[in-house]
Structure 1
Amino acid sequence: MSAQATARVSTARAYPAPAARPQPAAAPRLRLVRAPQTARTRVPFVLACMAVLAVALLSALLLNTQMASGAYEEYSLSNELGRLDQDAKDLRAQLDQKASPAQLAAAARALGMVPADGTGWVRVADGTVQGSPAPAPAG
């Protein structure tokens, strides 16, 4: 055998027949991919956050102002209630003083009334007078 024949035989033995070789997997299909979009600006998001923060601060300020105003009004009304309560107590004291027996007798004398000497009752069933009523003396 010649050198060429030996090379062919060794080559034939070294590599299996083409039918025996495994077939490579089908190549994936390529598709067109768009380029990534440019990054969006964050300005609208930052402005929205600042607007929310401003609204929250403004509402807290208004709420605080309303509460302070309510506290002043409550203090004023509390003072007025105390003053009116004291006036009512003073008027009750004056009424009690004027309703005392000595003050009632003095007011009755000022009106020309005289004390009665005796008391009597009229019985409605038969129209009789009971007790010892006497006419008051002329004043």
Structure 2
Amino acid sequence: MSVEKKRGYDGMVASGILPWFRGIAVHDFWRPYERFDVNHVYCNAHLIRELRAIHENTGQEWASDLKKLLVWAQHKKKEFIAAGKDRFSPYCCRYRIDKPFDELLASGLAQNPLPTGKGARGRPKKGKARNLLERFRDPTCQNRCRMID
């Protein structure tokens, strides 16, 4: 454990942990983490918190439905582990997680299109919902059956 003057990538390198780590790094969406050669998984608690906020602030149902899907998958995974299984079946992963996930992602993207025109200072802001949807679409987030840890 260390305390570094810099909080970003340089500080993480100076702490000496992540440069040598070769496992699965579960983290929030902070970009400096992405520079390390590890298997990245986004923290489900952070995803659920953001989905809840989007639903409460915008009323967009895809966010609530996606939150429910992630919570359901978490519970299902616990059931599978208790039954001695180490992963979802291909059927469950494809039809109970991936397919609804893709449909909800498409719905969210349709409701939150890319902004057009110019912002006051550079490109216009996408908004919190669009940014979250793009993180879900990001290849880092694509292994959904592992994402639900």
TM-score normalised by L of structure 2: 0.18
Bigger RCO (CA 8 Å, 6+ sep): 2
TM-score normalised by L of structure 1: 0.19
Which protein shows a greater Rg?
1
